[in-house]
Amino acid sequence: MALLTLLAAVTVGVVRMRNLFGVVVLASIYSFLMASLFVALDAVDVAMTEAAVGAGVSTVVLLATLHLTGSMEYPRPRKAYLPLFVAFVTGAALVWGTFSLPPFGTADAPIHQHVAPRYLSESIKETLVPNVVTAVLADYRGYDTLGEATVVFTAGIGVMLLLRGRRRQSAGRTREEHGP
Partner 1 sequence: MKLDLILRVVIKLFLPFILLFALYVQFHGELGPGGGFQAGVIVAGTFILYAIMFGAHAAKRIVPQRLVELMVPLGVLIFAGTGAAAQAFGGNFLDYAVFSHDPPHGRELGIFLVEVGVLITVSGTMIAIFYAFTGRGRS
Residues in contact with partner 1 by the rule CB under 8 A: 44-45, 48-49, 52-53, 56-57, 60-61, 64-65, 67-68, 125-131, 133-135, 137-139, 142-143, 145-146, 148-150, 152-153, 155-157, 159-160, 162-164, 167, 170, 174
CA distances from 43 to 49, 85, 96 (A): 10, 33, 25
Q: How far is the CB of 112 from partner 1 (least distance, A)?
A: 20
* Residue number with CB closer to partner 1 (73 or 126): 126
Q: How far is the CB of 33 from partner 1 (least distance, A)?
A: 18
The angle subtended at Cα 35 by Cα 94 and Cα 14, nearest 5°, is: 65
* Residue number with CB closer to partner 1 (48 or 86): 48
Quick check: helix, strand or coil at residue 33? helix
Q: How far is the CB of 163 from partner 1 (least distance, A)?
A: 4
Give the Cα separation of 34 and 26 in Å (integer): 12
Structural contact between residues 22 and 10, judged by C-beta atoms closer than 8 angstroms: no
Q: How far is the CB of 49 from partner 1 (least distance, A)?
A: 6
Q: Give 129's contacts (C-beta < 8 A, 6+ positions apart).
A: 123, 135, 139
* Residue number with CB closer to partner 1 (79 or 164): 164
Q: How far is the CB of 131 from partner 1 (least distance, A)?
A: 6
* Residue number with CB closer to partner 1 (16 or 67): 67
* Residue number with CB closer to partner 1 (88 or 153): 153
The angle subtended at Cα 20 by Cα 174 and Cα 45, nearest 5°, is: 105
| DSSP type of residue 130 | S
> What is the CA 115 to chain-centroid distance, rounded?
27
